[in-house]
Amino acid sequence: MTNSTKISDFISNLVDTELELEGRLDIQVGMAATRSSGSDSYPYTVTEITGKKGNRTITLKRDDHRPDGNHSFEYGGKQSYIYIPNPEGTEQYVQEKNWVHDNTYKVSFKNEETGRFRKGHGYIHFGSRRYYQDPSF
């Protein structure tokens, strides 16, 4: 019976740990983000946050990137970059209500004529920047 008690304690602690991991980042202007599109990734920076907490719209601009000293130019080699915020970069939008999991949200598209948003394709993950091009395509 000692074994089953230890297993139940383990399972109980595991559930608590999983709940802690689901906590979301407090998204701030200037925070790093990565847009995933298929197997490719693109770096972004949060530039504006509007609305009330829980129903905010987050505006991001695509960052420029350039290879750093660790970058391999060989096919399938390591891709390593320096990221440079670009005030003229392509805008993407995220609505907090479109949370998926962890710090990942569904991309939203803005209708420029009406100012309304709809869910788009792809995801934005907050907390890190990454540029990656899948060499197999």
Strand 64-67 to strand 40-50: parallel, antiparallel, or no bridges (unpaired)? unpaired
Min mean pLDDT across 1-10, 15-24, 32-41 is at 15-24
Structural tokens at position 137:
């395509």
Q: How many domains does the chain have?
A: 1
Residue 83, beta-bridge partner list? 65
- Is residue 16 very low, low, confident or very high in pLDDT (cuts 50, 70, 90)? very low
In a domain, 15, yes or no: no
d(CA 80, CA 52): 37
Residue 86 lies in a domain: yes
Q: Does residue 135 lie within any of the structural domains?
A: no
Whether 99 is in a domain gets the answer yes
Q: How far apart are CA 32 and CA 20, in angstroms?
A: 22
Alpha-carbon gap, residue 6 to 78, rounded angstroms: 43
Q: Is 133 inside any structural domain?
A: no
Residue with more model confidence, 91 or 136: 91
- The pLDDT assigned to 137 comes to 61
On whether residue 53 sits in a domain, the answer given is: yes
Please tell me the pTM assigned to this model. 0.74
Residue 32 has pLDDT above 70, yes or no: yes
The pLDDT score that the predictor gives to residue 15 is 43
Strand partners, 108: 93, 119
pLDDT attached to residue 1: 46
The whole-number pLDDT of residue 3 equals: 46
- For range 93-105, the mean pLDDT: 88
Residue 11 lies in a domain: no
For residue 65, tell me if it sits in a domain. Answer: yes
Q: Please, how many CA atoms are within 13 Å of residue 23, restricted to the half-sphere of its CB?
A: 6
Question: CA nearest 128: which of 67, 44, 56?
Answer: 44
CA dist 47 and 31 (Å) reads 8
Range(s) of the domain holding residue 63: 26-126
